[in-house]
Amino acid sequence: MKVSITVNGTGHDVDVEPRTLLVYFLREQLGLKGTNVGCDTTSCGACTVLLDGESVKSCTVLAVQADGSEVTTIEGLAGDGELHPVQQAFHENHALQCGYCTPGFVMASVSLLKENPSPSEEEIRLALEGNLCRCTGYHNILKAVQAAARAGA
């Protein structure tokens, strides 16, 4: 069926099968491969994107449910060659190792800082409970989010 979805500021009027998951719409129909599929079971958060400004796991949203909505993916954060402050903070604090979970962590952090610009350490840990990292661990991710908050992300 026909849907109209704005992704990173660009409108797309496209045909999708009703069973198409938002993450596959982004990756396969639009070629935006920055959003990763991890567990595919709403657990790991690797596929986190912003739907109308709020973090969601795009493996558990149908593309047809996003009809008329605005989606922001990791590709939509940086502007004019400048990293988004959260991306910059992840870079400077070495908040990643293999990088597979990173787009999801960055998007979840962007959503957190929008809702709570000055989170405590505990609030950051709880806000990122829906994202799993299997290599570098969470310490530097926490530091990166704190740095991004200080930078006014």
User: Using the rule CB under 8 A, is 54 a contact of other proteins?
Assistant: yes
Kindly calculate the radius of gyration of the chain based on its CA atoms and give it in whole angstroms: 15
* Subset of 22-51 contacting other proteins (CB under 8 A): 24, 40-43, 45, 48, 51
133: CB partners within 8 A, 6+ apart: 96, 101, 105, 141
Nearer to other proteins, 64 or 83 (CB): 64
Q: Cα(82)–Cα(104) distance, rounded to whole angstroms?
A: 19
Tracing tokens 């099968």 back to the chain, one arrives at 17
User: Using the rule CB under 8 A, is 13 a contact of other proteins?
Assistant: no
Q: Cα(54)–Cα(116) distance, rounded to whole angstroms?
A: 12
- Residue from 13, 15, 80, 129 binding other proteins (CB under 8 A): 129
- Residue from 60, 97, 136, 146 binding other proteins (CB under 8 A): 60
Binding site for other proteins (CB under 8 A): 1, 17-19, 21, 24, 40-43, 45, 48, 51, 54-57, 60-62, 64-65, 67, 108, 111-112, 126-127, 129-131
